[in-house]
Chains A and B, each alone.
Chain A
């Protein structure tokens, strides 16, 4: 976790006080007994480990820990929010467990040339989101959720996205893909900035097939993205993909101090630790396909690691042959890829960023194989 909104006062340490008085320097372990100081004193100044003690404490907390799930005990059992409780999805109006498999194919109609036209409404909405229990964050969203809706289509479809700006700030939608400059959703070109209350329609062909993303492209860019204005665009190849249990994951973070200096929380699909408290249920031996995108701002790199298993990785999803068979991949912002995996054994398996700091600040979860 990086920095605070205001630089805190120089913290007082007893050490600094003692440096002034000069008490720290003179050491002498035998001296205590020479001076007849209580043996308990020597014992206290001697080496002892909080580590062992900590394990003892974790043991004490064993009973509730078992009830809440292994990680909830805190301490050695892993990072967690207070009392081992996550955010109640009802508060935010969207549930990471549901948007995981929520693919929006849009309103379809047949065009004169026989192609499929898909239309969606995307609205910029400012919304306060509970990003950790008791912590409110002034987010900027597409359609009131983070990440925004997962738009899905087939290669060659005509896509029409009606964008309305219901926010107090100018916004755009910038899609990754192949399209004319006027449809690129950047200031000064085409419709350019969409002012508060303004509307526009972005229209282009779905190409190339693969896993893409969209996000606001208004300056300050980092803030417009970090506040939550991003989503996934999936273009299926013409010949389709194998039948699978499909899910979308968007990795990002929250800079709750709003200082642009780093993130206080990390997550997949909007809410830190959500899949720790609500594991993703998948079936044994069934193919699972994960559309994974990184939109993390302020940190250079993000990663995905799956426990006790390996997956086929298709970078950007633009080729039908996997690029790698691995259990850990990394992505910079805007990078994405498709993961295909089968779970041969039942049980609970962690997945998380293999930057352990991100993991312990919220970016970790469980698959539960049934």
Chain B
């Protein structure tokens, strides 16, 4: 035992890993002969991840989401064979392929694309309405940035204008406002979870589907918790004070920012496939919706000196990701990736809620007192109702 103790730790670890690798290699070489191959026909699963329409052409990005390689041999569009170029051989597992189909598609018409594989399987992909895909040029990015600005940065910053009012309200309002924020964030968390799960269900599931969403949320939660406690640690050395209101506001802004990223993502992808009806009402709806988010950010600051640059920074953190999301939304090809990104937002929001809850305590240490209960309900209702504005 003593002798073993003298062996360096790294050498021991190496020994263990080596032993495991040896056994696995043994199983791999011997086991494959002893165990039967999978019976039955090849499992072919092709997912269309992106569809682009250019004049006279339809471009598909497909991913092999099944366990076996797949060859797309022929392509039909609305029940007629169409000329196309694409991968010459098989598309390996998890690999993507690009198909360029020559077809005189007509604006706004639905199309059913059939991918006929080498085994005679047909994988169908329905397109509800063909719309020319906007080119990702300067104009496109300018437009996306503008949309992100309208629905993200501006309304969030507008919401912060309520800060002077909050300050007049004084101490007794603080708990209620924090509760309002918690209600609002809770609503976003539930909404985001549902949306992410729906997206992942629609995706190929090749990267884990629902478990990817949950993993992303968990990782975001843990990462933010880590950052938060690290910040607290640094501050306690310098100031030795309690929880900083500014730090709390920052965490809220980050959580909301990640949520707005998801919102921008949806807007961007909708725009790129021509399904985004841009109108005053939509923009106004989003603005009102997101103004409440600004309110949530400044809620922890009701007893702080307002510092304009800091506030603007928070507005940018919370609203800016909408711009980034809109820009990326046009190019994210995988529904699963989009679901994972929204999952990150959910995790971030959950972490912020955990941060905020202690601030809701009243003198008796109760979290859910009449004031905070009403506040939480009001926050959830505010988002629900302004959300209806957007759908109306």
Contact status A11-B202, CB under 8 Å: yes
**A309 to B263, alpha carbons, bound, how many Å?**
61
* A67 is an interface residue with CB less than 8 A from chain B: no
* B278 is an interface residue with CB less than 8 A from chain A: yes
Chain A's interface size range is 35 or more
Nearest to A45 among chain B residues (CB) is B278
**A17 to B142, alpha carbons, bound, how many Å?**
24
Contact status A50-B55, CB under 8 Å: yes
Q: How far is the CB of B150 from chain A (nearest CB, A)?
A: 7
Contact status A25-B391, CB under 8 Å: yes
Task: With a 10 A CB-CB cut-off, give which of B74, B76, B121, B391 has the most chain A CB atoms.
Answer: B74
| B279 / chain A contacts, CB cutoff of 8 Å | 26-29, 31-32
| B266 / chain A contacts, CB cutoff of 8 Å | 17-18, 21, 23
Nearest to A68 among chain B residues (CB) is B83
Binds B, one of A2-10, A90-98, A241-249: A2-10
* A66 is an interface residue with CB less than 8 A from chain B: no
* B125 is an interface residue with CB less than 8 A from chain A: yes
Nearest to B338 among chain A residues (CB) is A17
Query: Which B377-392 residues have C-beta < 8 A from chain A?
Result: 387, 390-392
* A181 is an interface residue with CB less than 8 A from chain B: no
* A82 is an interface residue with CB less than 8 A from chain B: yes
- Contacts A25-B392, A31-B279 hold; do A75 and B79 have CB atoms under 8 A apart? no
**A137 to B118, alpha carbons, bound, how many Å?**
9
| B130 / chain A contacts, CB cutoff of 8 Å | 50
Contact status B106-A74, CB under 8 Å: no
Binary A-proximity of B144-156 (CB < 8 A = 1, otherwise 0) = 0011001000000
Contact status A13-B126, CB under 8 Å: yes
Binds A, one of B159-167, B236-244, B268-276, B290-298: B268-276
Residue from the list B106, B203, B270 in contact with A23, Cβ < 8 A? B270
Nearest to B145 among chain A residues (CB) is A38
Binds A, one of B24-32, B97-105, B249-257, B314-322: B97-105
| B129 / chain A contacts, CB cutoff of 8 Å | 15
* B345 is an interface residue with CB less than 8 A from chain A: no
Query: Which A38-72 residues have C-beta < 8 A from chain B?
Result: 38, 40-41, 44-45, 47-58, 60-61, 72
Contact status B139-A38, CB under 8 Å: yes
Nearest to A78 among chain B residues (CB) is B80
Residue from the list A50, A257, A357 in contact with B80, Cβ < 8 A? A357
Contact status A79-B80, CB under 8 Å: yes
| B215 / chain A contacts, CB cutoff of 8 Å | none
Contact status A18-B270, CB under 8 Å: yes
- Contacts A54-B55, A75-B83 hold; do A12 and B202 have CB atoms under 8 A apart? yes
| A48 / chain B contacts, CB cutoff of 8 Å | 107, 132
Contact status B120-A137, CB under 8 Å: yes
Interface of B: prevailing SS: mixed
* B128 is an interface residue with CB less than 8 A from chain A: yes
| A41 / chain B contacts, CB cutoff of 8 Å | 139, 143, 278
Q: How far is the CB of B57 from chain A (nearest CB, A)?
A: 6
Contact status A51-B106, CB under 8 Å: yes
Contact status B74-A132, CB under 8 Å: yes
Nearest to A61 among chain B residues (CB) is B102
Query: Which B78-94 residues have C-beta < 8 A from chain A?
Result: 79-86
Q: How far is the CB of A127 from chain B (nearest CB, A)?
A: 14
Contact status A37-B278, CB under 8 Å: yes
Contact status A81-B74, CB under 8 Å: yes
Residue from the list A21, A35, A135 in contact with B118, Cβ < 8 A? A135
**A29 to B267, alpha carbons, bound, how many Å?**
17
| B280 / chain A contacts, CB cutoff of 8 Å | 28, 31, 34-35
| A26 / chain B contacts, CB cutoff of 8 Å | 277, 279, 281-282, 285, 390, 392
* A315 is an interface residue with CB less than 8 A from chain B: no
Q: How far is the CB of B290 from chain A (nearest CB, A)?
A: 13
Contact status B123-A4, CB under 8 Å: yes
| B391 / chain A contacts, CB cutoff of 8 Å | 22, 25
* A76 is an interface residue with CB less than 8 A from chain B: yes
| A1 / chain B contacts, CB cutoff of 8 Å | 76, 79, 114, 122
| A21 / chain B contacts, CB cutoff of 8 Å | 195, 263, 266-267, 270, 390
Contact status A37-B143, CB under 8 Å: yes
* A122 is an interface residue with CB less than 8 A from chain B: no
Contact status B83-A57, CB under 8 Å: no
Residue from the list A34, A52, A53, A257 in contact with B122, Cβ < 8 A? A257
Q: How far is the CB of B137 from chain A (nearest CB, A)?
A: 9
| A61 / chain B contacts, CB cutoff of 8 Å | 102
* B376 is an interface residue with CB less than 8 A from chain A: no
* B228 is an interface residue with CB less than 8 A from chain A: no
| B146 / chain A contacts, CB cutoff of 8 Å | 36-38
Contact status B73-A132, CB under 8 Å: yes
- Contacts A10-B202, A31-B280, A31-B281 hold; do A49 and B120 have CB atoms under 8 A apart? no
* A20 is an interface residue with CB less than 8 A from chain B: yes
| B263 / chain A contacts, CB cutoff of 8 Å | 21
Query: Which A116-138 residues have C-beta < 8 A from chain B?
Result: 131-137
Query: Which A183-207 residues have C-beta < 8 A from chain B?
Result: none
Nearest to B121 among chain A residues (CB) is A5
Contact status A257-B120, CB under 8 Å: yes
Q: How far is the CB of B72 from chain A (nearest CB, A)?
A: 8
**A84 to B269, alpha carbons, bound, how many Å?**
34
Q: How far is the CB of B90 from chain A (nearest CB, A)?
A: 10
Nearest to A9 among chain B residues (CB) is B202
Binary B-proximity of A333-370 (CB < 8 A = 1, otherwise 0) = 00000000000000000000000010011100000000
- Contacts A23-B390, A54-B55, A257-B120 hold; do A40 and B81 have CB atoms under 8 A apart? no
* B261 is an interface residue with CB less than 8 A from chain A: no
* A159 is an interface residue with CB less than 8 A from chain B: no
A-B pairs with lowest CB-CB distance, top 3: A53-B55, A57-B56, A256-B120
Report 9 cross-chain contacts, Cβ distance below 8 Å, ordered by A residue.
A11-B125, A12-B202, A17-B195, A17-B266, A34-B280, A44-B134, A58-B104, A74-B101, A132-B81
